[in-house]
Amino acid sequence: MMIVMRETATEEEVEAVVAKIERAGARAHRSSGARVTVIGAIGDVEQDASVESLGLEGQPGVDRVVPILKPYKLASAQITHGVRSVLDIDGRKVGGESFALIAGPCTVESREQMLDTARVVRDAGATLLRGGAYKPRTSPYAFQGLGQEGLRLLAEAKAETGLPIVTELMDIGDMDAVLEVADVVQIGARNMQNYPLLTEIGRAGRPALLKRGLSATLDELLMAAEYILKEGNPNVMLCERGIRTFETAYRFTLDLMAVPVLKELSHLPVIVDPSHAAGRRELVLPLSLAAAAVGADGIIVEVHPNPDEAICDGPQALRAEGFADYAQAVEQAAALAGKALARREPALA
């Protein structure tokens, strides 16, 4: 249920509605736009029924009461009344007019590899630094990531470059260690529907980059986001990374239509991962330009100083030496959609 307040509603009137919703056992989610405040009453079926019986239509300051039409209530565009969510990652904005360039190696391999990459992407204007310490590999015999040592190297790369870190969490048991380092916790495509993991990230409150599952519909992706949001963590970015289709000429099919459609359905920022969709480097630039031009709020891309020797995902990694040109081209494409690269905002004195 959504309670749309009048433009003239006072703070006391808004608070009175919130109090009533909470007394009925539901949670009140407040969202204030430029003109009106909208209060979402979020609860289970029983709580929804109690809120419905409150007769909020007659309450002072209330304009109208409307049902939330989607099963993903907190992720829906309806709940913010068209206002888009803008995340703040350590002073960098993601969403709105800010475009996030998230770059780094697939996996942390060594101190030299991680620090070299971090410097290159920082110098080219990247917003955030990516790198996996725990890797979801198809084969159990493949390199699984450096684990704790990888996290330590990510912390060092952040200390040196100032770039906030995006790194994947696969196992709740590694949560505390990952939270020590991650400014954004990546939930990989294979874990998109790992509901206990999503719930724990929701409780941890740390920003999350939620990747679309290999065969997940947009509704399923948004329901997965809802698990995080429901725990009171509003900092979720959705990520399109290619889906399984009948096509075999490339690794996955990058579903760029998902970008405008997700932005129609949801207020959450939408990031595109061209690297994992493509599987090969030559496709990464054109897909990145298309993603930026179609209105993505950012790109997460793999970069390596020496892709031919990369332990993991080398064929799709951009070469570090060409990364500045790549970043410039992406910046121009993002400008077509009215976005500029997110820079660190000077801290207020």
Residues making contact with ligand PEP (CB under 6 A): 106, 132, 136, 188-190, 211, 241, 273, 276
Minimum CB separation of residue 128 from ligand PEP in Å reads 13
51 contact, one of ligand PEP, Mn ion, none, CB 5-8 Å limit per kind:
none
The residue number whose beta carbon is nearest to ligand PEP equals 188
d(CA 320, CA 306) in angstroms, rounded, equals 8
Query: Which C-beta is closer to ligand PEP: that of 93 or that of 211?
Result: 211
Q: Residue for token digits 């952040």?
A: 158
Residue 264, amino acid:
E
Minimum CB separation of residue 133 from Mn ion in Å reads 13
1 DSSP assignment: -
Query: Which C-beta is closer to ligand PEP: that of 93 or that of 276?
Result: 276
Going by C-alpha positions, the residue among 93, 123, 95 that lies closest to residue 328 is 123
Minimum CB separation of residue 230 from ligand PEP in Å reads 22
Query: Which C-beta is closer to Mn ion: that of 106 or that of 268?
Result: 106
Minimum CB separation of residue 56 from Mn ion in Å reads 49
Give the angle subtended at the CA of 29 by the CAs of 78 and 55, to the nearest 5°. 85
Query: Which C-beta is closer to Mn ion: that of 101 or that of 106?
Result: 106
Q: What is the DSSP annotation of 82-139?
A: TPPP-EEETTEEEBTTEEEEEEE-SB---HHHHHHHHHHHHHTT-SEEE-BSS---SS
Minimum CB separation of residue 317 from Mn ion in Å reads 8
Going by C-alpha positions, the residue among 51, 33, 49, 44 that lies closest to residue 71 is 44
189 contact, one of ligand PEP, Mn ion, none, CB 5-8 Å limit per kind:
ligand PEP
Query: Which C-beta is closer to ligand PEP: that of 14 or that of 129?
Result: 129
d(CA 232, CA 217) in angstroms, rounded, equals 24
241 contact, one of ligand PEP, Mn ion, none, CB 5-8 Å limit per kind:
ligand PEP
Minimum CB separation of residue 240 from ligand PEP in Å reads 10
Helix axes 148-161, 111-123, angle to 10 degrees: 30
136 contact, one of Mn ion, ligand PEP, none, CB 5-8 Å limit per kind:
ligand PEP
Query: Which C-beta is closer to Mn ion: that of 21 or that of 300?
Result: 300
Q: Indicate the SS3 state at residue 283.
A: helix
CA atoms within a 13 Å half-sphere pointing along the CA-CB vector of 296: 30
Could you tell me whether strands 236-240 and 62-66 are parallel, antiparallel, or unpaired per DSSP bridges? unpaired
Minimum CB separation of residue 312 from Mn ion in Å reads 6
158 contact, one of ligand PEP, Mn ion, none, CB 5-8 Å limit per kind:
none
Query: Which C-beta is closer to ligand PEP: that of 39 or that of 252?
Result: 252
